[in-house]
């Protein structure tokens, strides 16, 4: 059965183009279009689509307002398709926090070669979104299980770094994990989240505003320090390397499908911190990170993957489970507590 899609965009030109792009694939059927947020909300209720593509800047009711109502009244997978996505990264990330599954940036101009470049990306993300698990959202991250602080005594086996990888659904999941960590979190954090260029810095800033630990976009040569989370910059690869008695991030332009790649980050942790690593693989499409997680577990590192029940897209964690890469498979609200528990065990060792 074809994936039934509703296209919401105030531009008649873009409604036509997006419809053509989607219907070029026999797996997709555009069942309707809407010219603004209010029209889109009415048609979501009437047509019950499998996926909605949603513009952000529209008259009468903008995309963010429409998204709030969709998530509250008729939860379904939403893919943001907006020219605001580059200039207004803050709004795009807010849409992901409100429950949108993913986003695609459409060009601000209309050269056909640029415009049609988004076709493959749009199709892939709509198809992936059709498999996403969307629950009613309030706009707040999933509430983590409350966790305590640390007994401040270092043990020789204390993990040196917490590595986190995610893709589709990851921004919301990562915020849920980081927001539960205390300000005195005793190890450094490095994060690889699949995201287009221009978004990771804003993503890091939003995390920093909502977490007790400090968060910033990683720069080449940054030291990995306790109480600091470094977000791998999009468009590049981020690795953790040894620098004397410390650890720092090295940014490069290695060609891979994913930039940043979770596998590249995790494999670098296997070489640098080895068994003194806690690694977490969260929601996401595909398999990136699963092999790197397995390499870490084979060395004796503590590894966690998100359980299917809380994943937006159960792809990367599913492959990790199949490979035997995850020591623990947990629903998202229980992951921060397990991280704290594993580190606490080592602190007291």
Looking at the domain assignment, is residue 74 inside a domain? yes
Looking at the domain assignment, is residue 151 inside a domain? no
Looking at the domain assignment, is residue 152 inside a domain? no
From 114, 130, 146, the end of a domain falls on: 130
Shared-domain flag, residues 125 and 226: no
Shared-domain flag, residues 248 and 115: no
Looking at the domain assignment, is residue 153 inside a domain? no
Q: Which long-range contacts (CB under 8 A, 24 or more apart) does 29-32 make?
A: 29/2, 29/3, 29/4, 29/5, 30/5, 30/6, 31/4, 31/5, 31/6, 32/6, 32/7
Bond before 260 cis per omega within 30 degrees: yes
Shared-domain flag, residues 49 and 173: no
Q: What is the DSSP letter of 334?
A: G
From 112, 130, 148, the end of a domain falls on: 130
Cα distances from 292 to residues 164, 216, 287, in angstroms, run: 11, 23, 10
In the chain, the N- to C-terminal Cα span, in Å, equals: 55
pLDDT reported for residue 263: 98
**Is residue 194 flagged as an active site residue?**
yes
Cβ pair 171, 93 in contact under 8 A? yes
Shared-domain flag, residues 257 and 341: yes
Shared-domain flag, residues 261 and 340: yes
CA angle 225, 197, 71 (to 5 degrees): 90
Cβ pair 265, 240 in contact under 8 A? yes
- The catalytic position among 36, 39, 102, 194 is 194
Looking at the domain assignment, is residue 231 inside a domain? yes
Q: What is the DSSP letter of 221?
A: T
pLDDT tens, N- to C-terminus, the chain (349 residues): 899 999 999 999 999 999 999 999 999 999 999 999 999 999 999 999 999 999 999 998 999 999 999 999 999 999 999 875 556 788 899 999 999 999 998 876 555 556 667 888 899 999 999 999 887 644 444 455 545 555 544 445 567 899 999 999 999 999 999 999 999 999 999 999 999 888 999 999 999 999 999 999 999 999 999 999 999 999 999 999 998 889 999 999 987 788 999 999 999 999 999 999 999 999 999 999 999 999 999 999 999 999 999 999 999 999 999 999 999 999 999 999 999 999 987 654 4
Domain membership of residue 267 as a residue range: 161-347
State how many domains the chain has. 2
**Is residue 220 flagged as an active site residue?**
no
- The catalytic position among 83, 167, 268, 346 is 167
Shared-domain flag, residues 112 and 50: yes
**Is residue 288 flagged as an active site residue?**
yes
- The catalytic position among 9, 36, 222, 288 is 288
Shared-domain flag, residues 216 and 273: yes
How far is Cα of residue 132 from the mean position of the Cα atoms in its chain?
Answer: 13
Shared-domain flag, residues 198 and 253: yes
Residue 179 has which token pair? Answer: 């927001």
Global pTM? Answer: 0.90
Please report, for the domain that includes residue 14, its CATH number.
3.40.50.2300
From 79, 114, 130, the end of a domain falls on: 130
Contacts with 325 (C-beta within 8 Å, 6 or more apart), sequence order: 281, 290, 291, 293, 294, 296, 297, 303, 305
Looking at the domain assignment, is residue 12 inside a domain? yes
Looking at the domain assignment, is residue 144 inside a domain? no
Shared-domain flag, residues 37 and 92: yes
Q: Of 45, 55, 61, 64, which is closest to residue 15 (Cα–Cα)? A: 55
Shared-domain flag, residues 125 and 167: no
Please report, for the domain that includes residue 296, its CATH number.
3.40.50.180
pLDDT reported for residue 166: 98
Looking at the domain assignment, is residue 206 inside a domain? yes
Q: What span, in angstroms and rounded, lies between the C-alpha atoms of 81 and 102?
A: 9
């Amino acid at each position: 059965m074809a994936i039934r899609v509703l296209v919401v965009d105030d531009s008649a030109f873009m409604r036509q183009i997006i419809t053509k792009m989607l219907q070029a694939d026999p797996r997709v059927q555009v069942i309707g279009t809407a010219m603004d947020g209010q029209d889109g909300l009415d048609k979501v209720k009437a047509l019950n689509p499998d996926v909605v593509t949603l513009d952000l800047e529209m008259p009468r009711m903008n995309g963010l307002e429409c998204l709030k109502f969709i998530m509250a009244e008729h939860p379904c997978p939403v893919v943001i398709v907006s020219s605001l996505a580059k200039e207004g990264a803050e709004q795009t990330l807010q849409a992901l926090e409100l429950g949108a599954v993913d986003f695609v940036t459409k060009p601000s101009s209309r050269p056909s070669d640029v415009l049609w470049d988004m076709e493959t990306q749009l199709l892939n993300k709509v198809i992936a979104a059709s498999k996403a698990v969307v629950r009613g959202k309030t706009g707040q991250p999933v509430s983590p299980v409350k966790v305590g602080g640390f007994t401040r005594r270092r043990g020789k086996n204390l993990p040196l770094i917490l590595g986190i990888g995610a893709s589709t659904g990851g921004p919301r999941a990562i915020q849920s994990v980081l927001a539960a960590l205390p300000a005195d979190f005793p190890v450094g954090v490095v994060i690889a989240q699949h995201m287009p260029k221009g978004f990771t810095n804003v993503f890091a800033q939003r995390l920093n505003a909502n977490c007790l630990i400090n968060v910033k976009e990683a720069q080449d040569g940054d030291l990995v320090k306790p109480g600091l989370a470094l977000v791998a910059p999009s468009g590049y690869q981020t690795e953790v390397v040894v620098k004397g008695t410390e650890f720092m991030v090295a940014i490069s332009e290695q060609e891979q499908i994913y930039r940043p790649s979770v596998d590249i980050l995790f494999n670098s942790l296997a070489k640098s911190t080895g068994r003194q690593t806690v690694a977490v693989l969260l929601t996401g499409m595909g398999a990136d990170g699963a092999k790197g997680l397995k390499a870490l577990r084979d060395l004796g590192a503590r590894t966690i993957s998100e359980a299917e029940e809380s994943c937006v897209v159960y792809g990367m964690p599913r492959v990790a489970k199949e490979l035997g890469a995850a020591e623990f498979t947990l629903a998202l609200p229980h992951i921060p507590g397990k991280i704290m528990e594993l580190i606490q065990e080592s602190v007291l060792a």
